[in-house]
Structure 1
Amino acid sequence: MAIAIDRELAGDINNPSFDVINYCIEEHEKEIPRLQMLFDYYEGNPHKINEEPKDLPHDRDEVFVNNAKYVTDMMVGFTVGAPISYTAANDKDISPVLEALDTMRIKKHDKELEKGLSAMGVGYELHYLAIKPGTTNETIPKIAWIDPRGMILVVDDTVEKNKLFAIRPLEKEDLKRTKFWEVTIFTSKWQITYFSKNKKLDKSTMLKEPKVREHFYQDVPVTEFRNNEEKQGDYEQQLSQIDKYNLLQTDRIKDKENFIKAIMILYGFTLPDEADKSVDGNVVLEAPSKDLGANAEYVTNTFQESEVQTLADSLLGDFHKTTYVPNLNDEQFAGNISGEAMKYKLFGLLLILSIKIGYLEDGIIERLRLLQNILTVKGHNIDVEGTTIKFKPNLPIDRSNIIQQIRDSQEFIPLLISLGWLDDIDDPKSVLEMLEEQKEKNLTMQAKALGIQSDDSHSDLDEPPEEDDDDQSNI
């Protein structure tokens, strides 16, 4: 989590003191239990803050329907299921940036990033240089998603929240199974790594001299991504609903088990006095006459299943309503409806996606700037300012309807604009150029089929016949 401190109190931000580092680590530790709880819900190990999960999910007596994972996986698919596209501003070339993103498999990275954002509300990217495969000294830019439980970004306390430095404490173990801490500080110029016995740094706990090297990114190479303004996960406000729904389902199962184990009560029966009235070790009771009021019944305490199902449906409905994630198992959700009607059913989801995408875009702009910095150092002339970042929510659409709209709008909307309505077209300009080439090729082929000579062709039939010199002399 980002820790805001006064710029003057931070001291030398290119070489933060142990006091400043330890203060930031202490503040970050206060957030770790909450982040741990949220991610444990995603993994199927629900528990409250500062509590340890009881045991593995399949060992528990409780029923756990993992609605937290359902929300996160759906949000990841909706938000970045379709790749993010980047379009350079006019007269600018960002192809080295796009090549770098493709090399680092940014599509997979974005899905990992969104999963962390959806579950815990915040996530971090670490930019670094790695040795290019097949070479010994050539480096390429890389990006890694860092769990917010293991990264601390320190910013100033102004409205701009300018980055000061970042801290990554990492517990490690040597070959003798002795644990130690590797605490790495990322400043705008240096990467400083301390090796300590404890997470909090002190001169007496240092195991060896710190390792210092320049990273060349010209800024703190860590980017913070937020899920929303409050940095909350997509199901964080619904934890009580998840718990109650699971409690209700657990009680339903236990009710069925108790029904099987129900106690039988006998009225008017007596135990035999003689041992010979047992068969195969079981006591045989003789039922008295009905006149004595003999009867037998089970002691049960069962739910009214219809009422329980109504309650379960209500809890589940409120859960989907407040998370904005549709219930795809609802029989009334899909059906035979048009694409326009589907948009209204997904209207709440589209609204929440617009918020998520806005905060994602802030982080991606910072991503592009860091890539620009490192690629400029490597000799490329790049300017990412003005780059258009386009998100395409991965939602069901009626493509045939959109194509018809493109046809109908050609008289008053440029084709370059209307082609962008299609979700699988990232660069309408290049598609328009392909269409022009295809039209020219079709015209050429049509001309050949009709026997029309093209302007650049050549044939002997176009020239007058040559006169024989001998014939001319005889005239």
Structure 2
Amino acid sequence: MAIAIDRELAGDINNPTIELLNFCIEEHEKELPRLQMLFDYYEGNPHKKGETPTNLPHDRGEVFVNNAKYVTDMMVGFTVGAPISYAAGKGKNIDDILDVFDKTRIRKHDKELAKGLSAMGVGYELHYLSLVPGTETETIPNITWIDPRGMILVVDDTVDRNKLFAIRPVEKQNLKREKFWEIQVYTAKGVFTYRSKTKKLSETDLMDKPKYKEHFYQAVPVVEFRNNEEKQGDYEQQLSQIDKYNLLQTDRIRDKENFIKAIMVTYGFGLDDSELKTSGGNKYIEAPSKDEGAAAEFIANTFDESGVQVLAESLLDDFHKSSYVPNLNDEQFSGNVSGEAMKYKLFGLLLVLSIKTGYMEDGILQRLQLLQNVLRVKGKNVDIEGVTIKFKPNLPINRSDIINQIRDSQEFIPLLISLGWLDDIDNPAEVLELLEEQKLKSIEINQKALGSQANDSHSNLDEKPDEIGR
């Protein structure tokens, strides 16, 4: 999570002091327990903030239904399951940026980024230049997702939150398995790399002099993505519901196990081994008759299973209601419904997705700006002004309805825009070119079928009979 400091107190942001770096690292460590807890819930190892779990829930004899993972995986699929589409502004060119996206497998990257945002509420993207395979000097822009537990972005405390620099501490070990820290500091001009025996930097713990390398991005090459204004995960407010539901399920299983451990109680007689009798190889005790006041019964746990099930369903309903993620196992959710009816069922989810995609778009614009900067340094003619970024929620749709809407709207909506309504089309301009080629080919085929003369034909059938050589 970004750390805001006074710009004047930061000093030279192109070469931050060790004192300033240590202050930022210490501030970041205060947030680590919360981030670790949230991701542990996703991995199925929940615990309270500030605690360190010693074993997994199933090792402790607990039942853990991972509703946290369910929410995150569903949100990732809904948000970026369909690829994000980009359209250049009028008269602008972003082809080289789209080429970088293809080479960096941006779709996979966006899914990793969305998972981190959903689980921990914040995520970071690092831009860097990597060598082209088989070359020693040629580089290409590259992008990778950085876990928020391993990246520190420092901004000023103005309303603009201008980026000052970023810190990435990485714990490593040498061939002797001796651990040390590599602290990378990204400024607007280059990257400083410190190698230290400890995470907290000091002149005595530095293993060598810091190294510096220019990166050519003309800005801090780190982008912060937010899940929402509060930087909360998608299930962070439902942690208590997750815990209570799992506690209920654990108690239900233990009640079932204890049910078979019933205790027999006898009245009016005892079970003395000396009174054992044998019959057919079996030993038994002959109990007195009921007339003599003798009786035997079992003491067993009793519970209202139907009442417990009602409570479980109520907890689950509240969980899905407050997280806005539908329960796809609900019989009332599925069924033969129209696309419009499905939208009303998913109305709450669509509202949440509009917030998530709005904040993601802010980060993507910074991504495009960084790529434009470095590509222009490489002599590429790219311009992101007026670029259109479109998210397509990966939700159940009625494709035939959308196709009919595209057909009926051609008189007042350009086809280039309406083609973007389809979830599996991420480059409407390319599809429009294919449609034009298909129309021209269809015209050519129809002309041949009707016997029309092609433009490039050398046939002399249209010449006068007396001019045809015999």
TM-score range, shorter chain: over 0.9
Structure 1 partner of 2:125? 125
Counterpart of 2:108 in structure 1 is 108
What displacement does 1:202 show? 1.0
Tell me what 2:192 maps to: 192
- Is the contact between residue 270 and residue 285 of structure 1 (CA under 8 Å) also seen in structure 2? no
Q: Which residue of 1 aligns with 2:54?
A: 54
- What is residue 450 of structure 1 aligned with on the other side? 450
- Taking a change above 3 Å as real, the CA distance of residues 282 and 54 of structure 1, as seen in their structure-2 partners, is farther
Question: Partner of 2:419 in structure 1?
Answer: 419
SS in 2 for 1:166: strand
Cα deviation code 1:346-366 (max 9, x no counterpart): 111110000000000000110
- 27-36 vs 259-268, which deviates more? 259-268
Tell me how far apart the structure 2 counterparts of residues 81 and 467 of structure 1 sit (CA, whole Å).
67
2:134 alignment partner in structure 1: 134
What CA distance in whole angstroms lies between the structure 1 residues aligned with 2:269 and 2:31?
65
Q: Do residues 267 (structure 1) and 267 (structure 2) align?
A: yes
* Distance in 2 of aligned mates of 1:168 and 1:384: 28
Change (3 A) 1:369 1:414: closer
Query: What is residue 18 of structure 1 aligned with on the other side?
Result: 18
1:348-404 per-position Cα deviation (integer Å, ceiling 9, x unaligned): 111000000000000011011111111111111211121111111111110011112
Corresponding residue for residue 432 of structure 1: 432
Bigger mean CA deviation after superposition, 416-425 or 373-382: 416-425
The residue aligned with 2:237 is 237
Render the CA deviation track for 1:48-92: whole Å, top value 9, x for unaligned.
011111313442200000000000001111111111111111111
Tell me the distance in 2 between the aligned counterparts of 1:121 and 1:200.
Answer: 26
Aligned to 2:63: 63
The letter for the 2-side match of 1:164 is L
Q: Which residue of 2 aligns with 1:371?
A: 371
CA distance in 2, matches of 1:153, 1:44: 28
Separation in 2 of the partners of 1:300 and 1:457? Answer: 96
1:391-433 CA distance string (max 9 Å, x none): 1111111001111222333344443333222222223333333
**2:333 matched to which residue of 1?**
333
Query: Contact conserved, 2:276 with 2:283, CA < 8 A, in 1?
Result: no
| Coordinate RMSD, CA, aligned | 2.0
Give distance in 2, aligned partners of 1:407 and 1:318: 42
Residues 410 and 216 from structure 1, CA distance in 2 versus in 1: closer, same or farther, beyond 3 angstroms? closer
Write out aligned runs for 1:60-459 (5 A). 60-272=60-272, 274=274, 277=277, 284-454=284-454, 457-459=457-459
1:124 shift after superposition: 0.4
User: Which amino acid in structure 1 is aligned with residue 238 of structure 2?
Assistant: Q
User: Partners in 2 of 1:26 and 1:150 — Cα distance?
Assistant: 13
Conserved in 1, the CA contact under 8 Å of 2:83 and 2:426?
A: no
Q: State the 1:322 CA deviation.
A: 0.6
Q: Aligned residue for 1:29?
A: 29
CA distance 1:283–1:464, shift in 2 (3 Å): closer
Question: How many aligned positions are there?
Answer: 469
Contact 2:87 2:427 in 1 (8 A): yes
> In the alignment, residue 380 of structure 2 is paired with which amino acid?
H
Deviations 1:322-352 (A, max 9, x none): 1100001111111111121111111111100
Distance (whole Å) between structure 2 residues aligned to residue 18 and residue 194 of structure 1: 10
- Does the 8 Å contact 1:221/1:370 carry over to 2? yes
Determine if contact 1:269/1:286 at 8 Å carries over to the other structure. no
Structure-2 separation of matches of 1:331 and 1:187: 54
- Tell me the CA shift for residue 452 of structure 1: 2.6
- 1:317 Cα shift? 0.3
| Unpaired stretches in structure 1, ≥5 consecutive residues | 470-475
Percent identical pairs in the alignment equals 73
What SS does structure 2 have at the residue aligned with 1:335? coil
How far is the alpha carbon of 1:466 from its aligned partner?
Answer: 5.4
Letter in 2 for 1:264: M
Q: Shift in Å at residue 35 of structure 1?
A: 0.2
CA offset digits 1:85-113 (Å, max 9, x no partner):
11111111111111111101111111110
Rg: which structure is higher?
A: 1
* Whole-angstrom distance in 2 between the partners of 1:304 and 1:55: 32
Whole-angstrom CA distance in 1 between matches of 2:457 and 2:209: 77
Task: State the distance in 2 between where 1:23 and 1:429 align.
Answer: 50
Query: Which residue of 2 is the match for residue 2 of structure 1?
Result: 2
Partners of 2:409 and 2:146 lie apart in 1 by: 46
Residue identity matched to 2:266: L
CA contact (8 A) 2:276 2:285 kept: no
Structure 2: 5+ residue stretches without partners: none
Cα drift, residue 439 of structure 1: 2.4
**Relative to structure 1, is the Cα distance of residues 272 and 61 closer, same or farther in structure 2, using a 3 angstrom cutoff?**
closer
